[in-house]
Amino acid sequence: MRLRRFAFPLALALIVALPASLVAQAAVPRPIDWPAMQDEAVEALRQYLRINTSNPPGNELAAARFLKAFLEKEGIQAQILDTAELGAGRANLYARLKGDGSKRAIALVQHMDVVPVTQSSWTVPAFDGVLKDGYVYGRGALDMKGEGIAHLMALVALKRSGVPLTRDIVFVANADEELGSTGGIVFVDRHADLLRDVEYLFTEGGANSFRNGKLEYYSVGVAEKRTFWNRVTVHGTPSHGSRPTKANPVPRLVAALDRIARYETPLHVTPGVQKFFHDISRNYSGRQAAWLSDVTAALKQTDARDWILSDVYWNAILRNTISLTGLQGSSKTNVIPAEASAELDIRLLPDQSPEAMIATLTRIVNDTAVHFTTLLAPKPPFESPAGTDLFRAVERAAHERDPGAFVTTSMMTGATDRPSYRKLGIIAYGLSPFKVEAADEQRGVHGNDERLSVQNVGNGVRFLYDILRYAQ
């Protein structure tokens, strides 16, 4: 009887003595009408796609104003930044949803610009936000305005539901990711104070493998290759094409390019890539499963090596790559030019040196008349760890949706703004909240009839909402 008499006062005293952050976590979030949230997200995406932010010139200031108005309607203050530094019509945007500050913040980063469009190759207007057959069409639907709206609506859902937050959620939208990454670079350089408490960051760069309606795996992008564009140039003596001369720079350039094209870069397995292959080996059987479970050993076997390297993505994450993409000689058939040049799209593995690559190419070409000029210097290398609180939150949310699925690490062969943020010590991840058919992704990203399904929009918002909730 005595224990019962004092049970309520004792319990009340214990609650009063608890830290405020623990008491806050006992609060019950308000329910969310997810079908209505999906409809709202789809409409927001359609409006966002109607803002033509083709880069060049960008026009991200208009997109930043759209995002700012949307956030402030929800009571989330936003700032438009860096308009002077980025130039006319360009801007970055920053907002923050406050938590109790007991843990460090999580940042959601998107880019507002998109690549240009050849409208004649599309079946619908690229900047009308067309809703058709269960899909939202428009340039940027996949790269990356669709993901940006998922960021936006997940943030709004957290605010509306009143989920107790131990971490602030930072929302950043950058300009100029598609060309020079100046938006991300300027934001990090000028506003490091706004990021000083950020522990984790999500942006594009994840790759969930979804083929023929079947999910093969979720992936969190922990690394990316370093873009190292170069121009190869040979100088000569201009003259009339009817009088051939050994001073013609074109044959010399062609010879150099032939040597580069025939050069096979060495294979190199990074720790994250080793883990990736080991993880996905469970989707295979027999000797293929055995090969992938230890890809370093498999690459020493001819049959295993041939099979692994036949996949263009696997080949690209196992070596530095060089693609010959542009040629420039004479503008007239009957004129020998004074100069001939070509452009190389070089992508380096995170732990590889640009200086070593140029030294190797110089040795292979073996011609003092051939000169290399860097067009785009590589960003800082980065590789983020797995096994963090945020990585585990992704795993939990993924397993709830697909109990048999697994989450692995991946390396992006393209480029994002992550390296700019990683240099501040932020653990930067690539994450796609969507399950997009591989054929749609291959065709639509930087291609034609880019689209995202209505179902993906709704599911993507809820997936991100759950990840952010579980990471508290």
Burial environment of residue 268 by CB neighbours within 10 A (0 to 12, 13 to 18, 19 or more): middle
Mean pLDDT of the chain: 94
| Cα 432 to chain centroid, rounded | 8
Q: Which fold has domain 229-256+320-377?
A: Alpha-Beta Plaits (3.30.70)
Q: Give residue 136's identity as a one-letter amino acid code.
A: V
Q: Where are the alpha helices (DSSP H) in 87-141?
A: none
This prediction has a pTM of 0.88
Q: What is the pLDDT of residue 469?
A: 97
| 25-30: Cβ within 8 A, 24+ apart | 25/164, 25/166, 25/472, 27/162, 27/164, 29/161, 29/162, 29/163, 29/164, 30/160, 30/161, 30/162
- pLDDT tens readout for residues 127-140: 999 999 999 999 99
Domains 28-224+381-470 and 229-256+320-377 equal at CATH topology level: no
Domain positions in the chain:
28-224+381-470, 229-256+320-377, 267-319
- By residue count, the chain amounts to 472
More confident residue, 48 or 26: 48
In the structure encoding, which two tokens stand for residue 39, read together? 């409809």
Contact call for residues 228 and 348 (beta carbons, < 8 A): yes
At residue 12, the pLDDT reads 44
Cα–Cα distances (Å) from 123 to 35, 197, 240, 279, 436, in that order, read: 29, 46, 46, 39, 20
Q: Amino acid letter at 437?
A: E
Mean pLDDT throughout 68-84?
Answer: 98
pLDDT for 85-112, tens place per residue? Answer: 999 999 999 999 999 999 999 999 999 9
Out of 4-13, 154-163, 433-442, which region has the weakest mean confidence (pLDDT)?
4-13
352 pLDDT higher than 90: yes
pLDDT in tens, 267-309: 999 999 999 999 999 999 999 999 999 999 999 999 999 999 9
Angle at 152 (CA atoms; ends 137, 424), nearest 5 degrees: 115
Please give the CATH superfamily to which domain 28-224+381-470 belongs: Zn peptidases (3.40.630.10)
Nearest alpha carbon to residue 421 among 187, 160, 229, 152: 187
Q: Which of 231-235, 379-383, 385-389, 397-401 has the lowest mean pLDDT?
A: 379-383
